Structure 1
């Protein structure tokens, strides 16, 4: 592992966000946002003297009845699923203003329906996004190329991995959910299906959306999953969700599904890049679609590892899209530690595209291309070189992420890195 966090529980997998929490230890309050089951509670509660689980009626009522006293009772308090008691947000914010000695960790799996404006915590509550396990956070990988080092402009690129195409297909389908991915294949499939059904049958209604046809929501979500790593229009996604049906759900209804899943952090689109001091005249504003976890996307589409590597035309194309989803998950998690944000670049008409742009707080950029093959060609890298011509020294490194076995730097300066070695 590339992470060196001291874990007291041998079963606990150290996370990139642990590094951030260590570096931000003097912050008065930190909100950790993300979908259910990505490990927010396990990570936060290990750091707390006491935890209130607000998805439990008795603990929610206890805290609501005596909030002023209980919120200053310990050195570090974890408030789990805080959105079930929105008033706790403002109470924490006020305590941070008062400089009380208590430190707060708030975890949330959904944005609250009402009663709080999360922006009201600006300057007081730091927000961190927690996603499923990146490949480099999972057991069995030994990352040798660090994203933080790439920003130096002289990163050493080395390492060998035994990860095969079959291993990447398995990594896509197993999910990055800590309580699921370690399980046997049959149990894992059951747990993934139960996760999806819970979203549709319980989590969505809990957000106030009554779905008359739950199967329509699942079909729309699956169509969105089929658009992973693309900029497909919502109209095409809607048509894909109801093929051959004369009475399709309206676009407004489909966008309602999208919004509610976004509130649950279950969609994780990659925004288009609009750099400051931009030399670009015509960039598309369309985000690149991503489900929060490629394994959930694969399950929604009924894909197995064997189907992905079969090289059947439809499955092979989806394997490429979901492999990019897995790369995106890894680059986002490791990039966040380096204070860098992920976007993508596409000129209008698609003449030039760069799969992932990682821009640090100081404007430095690392650009990534993703290829589902072991060795890239010169043609595969032409857009990386084009970007370098456009932004000059701001582009400090160019990387193509592959399924090969060795990491190395080409004579033209491009780093070739198998995903299993990137961390």
Structure 2
């Protein structure tokens, strides 16, 4: 099958020819190895025992392979990181090593951070733009550069977005039937808890307790719920709740597997906004994982095409749609070399789902609306943000499920998610 380029390829195009070594970090099954293979000649697959054992005995052996060299699942033999770092010290020519990893190595396994020698890129599941459903017409890079190109028509509606939420952005799962895809997502989560977590050094005495915590985390998608609230939700009515330290160990190890992908709160410098919340907004690596953990398929979320949403599922659908939008925005933001965060005042009066921040302090605000049409009141938080920031406010976007991209009279842009791209 032909390779479908990913947004991270734009970054690799710019960087790998000049940077000697790059590491692609991200959860299993996002396509790191396939993407890296497009640019390398040599291959060391450390998830193979037959390959891993000799490399563990003599990590220097990897330097005998052809370059550009892909070291796949490098964290299985963390010593290769330092081998690559020292090789780059001796020869800093660009395009020599790509390392892929689906977990952060345990503390102390790597002697040196690799700063200045090994660059790091995060790779996430496929965005809507990468899935090839509709050709994007609104570029985040253009918005950041203040080039006004808000236009285009989308053929996607709410049923299609619901299907994309549950279809997942893991490339290998997208062609599967609904039943097979659900089976694979269940297996993915179960293997993460029962195999990957212990490999990270955390002994899980009760895997079902960690799965319950994951389900509670999924139910907090797109919220700033405290970790105490998540723990309570994971153990309703239980007198023998896991200790907070145990729950914190769950969070840390799942983050090390790149399965948790929270959005930090915005802490602007040189801004009159001082009373801002500090809690992160919770997201799993792929909204399909959250939907599966909660037992929500397309029918449960949508109630059938043309039928009203059930209240509880409808509320969760809005949170999952925001998570899908967040995935799409943060992948595009990384390619544009800008940061993202969320904004919420401490008293909850104002909330902006995402803020995209340029290095010069310019800000693009993003609000998410699970609707095909927006009302006059929609965007009030973006207008408030514009008033607060003045000239630092670059643009405001309301991302919807609607058909048309356009700019409103108040200056706020309305953009269907299907039309949003890097």
Superposition TM-score tier, normalisation by shorter sequence: over 0.9
Q: 1:124 aligns with which of 109, 117, 129?
A: 117
Distance 1:370 1:282 in 2: 23
Q: Which residue of 1 aligns with 2:85?
A: 93
Task: Please tell me whether residue 19 in structure 1 is matched to residue 10 in structure 2.
Answer: yes
Task: Please tell me whether residue 414 in structure 1 is matched to residue 394 in structure 2.
Answer: no
- CA change 1:197–1:73 in 2 (3 A) is closer
Q: Which residue of 1 aligns with 2:328?
A: 330
Aligned with 2:183: secondary structure? helix
Distance 2:267 2:318 in 1: 26
CA shift, 1:119, in A, is: 6.3
CA shift, 1:68, in A, is: 3.4
Q: 2:315 aligns with which of 298, 314, 317?
A: 317
Task: Please tell me whether residue 209 in structure 1 is matched to residue 207 in structure 2.
Answer: no
Distance 1:381 1:207 in 2: 43
- Asked if structure 2 preserves the Cα contact closer than 8 Å seen for 1:72 and 1:100, the reply is no
- Asked if structure 1 preserves the Cα contact closer than 8 Å seen for 2:134 and 2:155, the reply is no
For residues 27-46 of structure 1, what are the structure 2 equivalents within 5 Å? Answer: 27-46=19-38
CA shift, 1:239, in A, is: 1.1
Q: 1:264 aligns with which of 249, 253, 257?
A: 257
- Asked if structure 2 preserves the Cα contact closer than 8 Å seen for 1:86 and 1:115, the reply is no
Deviations 1:258-284 (A, max 9, x none): 111011000000000112222211111
- Asked if structure 2 preserves the Cα contact closer than 8 Å seen for 1:231 and 1:287, the reply is yes
CA shift, 1:158, in A, is: 0.8
- Asked if structure 1 preserves the Cα contact closer than 8 Å seen for 2:330 and 2:340, the reply is yes
**Unmatched runs of 5 consecutive residues or more in structure 1:** 1-8
Deviations 1:381-419 (A, max 9, x none): 111011111112222110000011111111111110011
Q: Which residue of 2 aligns with 1:253?
A: 246
Q: Which residue of 1 aligns with 2:97?
A: 104
For residues 263-282 of structure 1, what are the structure 2 equivalents within 5 Å? Answer: 263-282=256-275
**Structure 1 range deviating more: 386-395 or 21-30:** 386-395
- Asked if structure 2 preserves the Cα contact closer than 8 Å seen for 1:31 and 1:126, the reply is yes
Q: Which residue of 2 aligns with 1:51?
A: 43
- Asked if structure 2 preserves the Cα contact closer than 8 Å seen for 1:87 and 1:115, the reply is no
For residues 16-415 of structure 1, what are the structure 2 equivalents within 5 Å? Answer: 16-25=7-16, 26-68=18-60, 70-71=62-63, 73-99=65-91, 101=93, 103-117=96-110, 120-310=113-303, 311-415=309-413
Distance 2:147 2:129 in 1: 22
CA shift, 1:35, in A, is: 0.3
**Structure 1 range deviating more: 111-120 or 29-38:** 111-120
Q: Which residue of 2 aligns with 1:6?
A: none
- Asked if structure 1 preserves the Cα contact closer than 8 Å seen for 2:82 and 2:111, the reply is no
Aligned with 2:378: secondary structure? helix
Distance 1:400 1:409 in 2: 10
Calculate the TM-score normalised by the size of structure 1: 0.95
CA shift, 1:186, in A, is: 1.4
